[in-house]
Amino acid sequence: MSYTKKDLEPLVRGDDWTIKLAITSGGSAVDITGYRYTMTLKSNIDATDPGDAQSTTGVLGNTADSQAGIVYLNFTNAQTSVLEAQTYNYDIQQIDGTGAVQTLFIGRVKVDKDVTLTIA
């Protein structure tokens, strides 16, 4: 399986981000129970991991979402508030139940500067 090149819609620095993936094969959902996912953002693609920001799921339990191939990658506002407003390279990798690693997506995402810096 090869990766998909996909640029993401812009995200806002300082916000909580949730990236939802639906894992399918041949149009059917893949049971991803026992899988793990990582999304990494880097301003310099050659920088060492974890780069500028990284989100990793734990091993997915046997739930309705995992059986339907749904996974959520979350970044907290604490993780995103330290990012510079610029365009980042990203990838999303899948580690299946056997430990095999596969890159699913590679692309770019623009992080816009937030306007509100403190929450009342």
Which tokens go with 55?
Answer: 């989100």
What pTM value is reported for the model? 0.91
Looking at residue 22, what is its pLDDT? 95
* pLDDT, mean of residues 52-77: 95
Which tokens go with 93?
Answer: 């990798």
Fold (topology level) of 4-112:
Immunoglobulin-like (2.60.40)
* Rg of the Cα atoms in the chain: 15
Residue entry with tokens 């780069």: 51
CA–CA gap between residue 67 and residue 44 (Å, rounded): 35
| pLDDT, tens only, 31-63 | 999 999 999 999 999 999 999 999 999 999 999
The mean of the pLDDT values for the chain is 94
Which tokens go with 8?
Answer: 């993401």
